[in-house]
Chain A
Amino acid sequence: MLATVLYEDGDHRWIMFGRDPNKPKGIIDTNQYLIQSGDEAILLDPGGIELFAPMLSAVLKYVPAEKITKMFASHQDPDIISSLGLWDQALPNAELYSPWLWEGFIRHFGMENTTYKAIPDEGMTIQLGRIQLQFIPAHYLHSSGNFHVWDAKAGILMSGDVGAALEDTDAPLWVDNMDRHAPKMKKFHQRWMPSNEAKTDWVRRVSQLNIQVMAPQHGRLFKPPHVQEFLNWFDQLPVGTAIR
């Protein structure tokens, strides 16, 4: 599995895992993220059960297991968190931050040791080592209970399915041309995002952040000026429309 350091400042790091050339056929490619600060680390959207072994193996190249004190699942989908039952054995003392709405559902993936930390609808801020992370509401984008992660110090927004494109595992890591990339995202956003109201509200809130990297859960990542270009594009895109 490919691991890419997105940001590094002392012991504060963002690492992206994905583009696994050995992943089983038929499952979509996903981006997993690890944020480290001080003696703590958090896994963001740790992925599906099929990716657990290569993912843990890749993670242990960067950080010892006892430092991974937290996990985050933006929503309940299997590509996000169906590996939970295995992480539960690997990191028995970890906490899982996830929408309160999905607790009873996510527990179906198997949770004997992990502590579920329910994120309220309005979001919350947590301390990770020496930094603070904000869970920003992204309800209906696409899940009815959904959050993104904002690291103000690194200027990185983990944007879940917003900004996602389903591409091959050998696709470039970064968006280099919005005009060429937008068609790859259009159908996905129109089909998966059900609410124009939720979308507009999210664009308004996120536009106030100083985003240096926007990191979706599928496909390429965005840097300025493509972040703003994406927000403009998404703001104009009618969603919940791809019914044919």
Chain B
Amino acid sequence: MSAPVFITAASISAELHQAMMEARGLALTAKNARALAVRAGSRTVGFRAITDFIEELASAIIDQSRVINGHAERLSVQAVEAWRTDMANQKFQWIRSQRPQHIFSIEKNIRACDDRVTALQHDLQQGLRNLIDQLEESRKHIRTANLIATSSHVEAATAGDFREQLEVIADNIRDTADRIGNHLNRANALLNQNHRERKAAC
């Protein structure tokens, strides 16, 4: 059975929050890498340049995660409203089937509720599509992070005594990028599952 959208959206928000925390760790890794590169001197010029990219990337991931997180949270609130309005609508349909004497007196409100359900569902679909686009954007950042990790390894190989420490940093970048990627994958899977089930239900 499909999870209600508000649970899906809240779960996505939680995944993005975790991704954001990981990205903060990535920013810290970049700072450590920069300090190490300064100490290593001329042999790590290439690595030092990469640290700037890592910091920028971490900052971009944090910003992007924050945006998606906020978006998913708003979507969850909106989905709760849609669910509640839909519940009212279903109850109204039952009341209509009972044909109480004064049912005509509530028809206007039933129609208003019906219209609200349609509008909220439309907004929800749009919000979910935006979320898919934003998650795809974040995945580009992860692909970049993996490229940086590879370049870092290459640069570390020429760093002499500092090679081992720089390789640890390069591994750290790759691991963090993987963990962020996993959070994004899970968020994406939740979204796709919900999207598929909603389409199937139509």
Contacts and interface: CB of A to CB of B under 8 A. Distances in A.
Interface of A: 52-53, 56-67, 85-86, 89-92, 110
Given A85-B84, A86-B87, A65 B95 contact: no
A61 B94 contact: no
Interface of B: 84-85, 87-88, 91-92, 94-95, 98, 100-106, 109, 112-113
B95 A53 contact: yes
B106 A60 contact: yes
Contacts of A89: 85, 88, 92, 109, 113
A60 B109 CA distance: 13
B102 A64 contact: yes
Contact of B102 (A65, A85, A86, A92): A65
Contacts of B88: 85-86, 89-90
Contacts of B85: 89
Contact of A65 (B91, B98, B106): B106
Given A53-B91, A56-B95, A57-B98, A90 B84 contact: no
Contacts of A52: 91
A59 B112 CA distance: 20
Contacts of B101: 60-62
Given A86-B91, A89-B109, 5 more contacts: A52-B91, A53-B91, A65-B105, A85-B84, A89-B113
A-B residue pairs, 5 tightest by C-beta: A64-B105, A60-B100, A64-B102, A65-B106, A89-B88
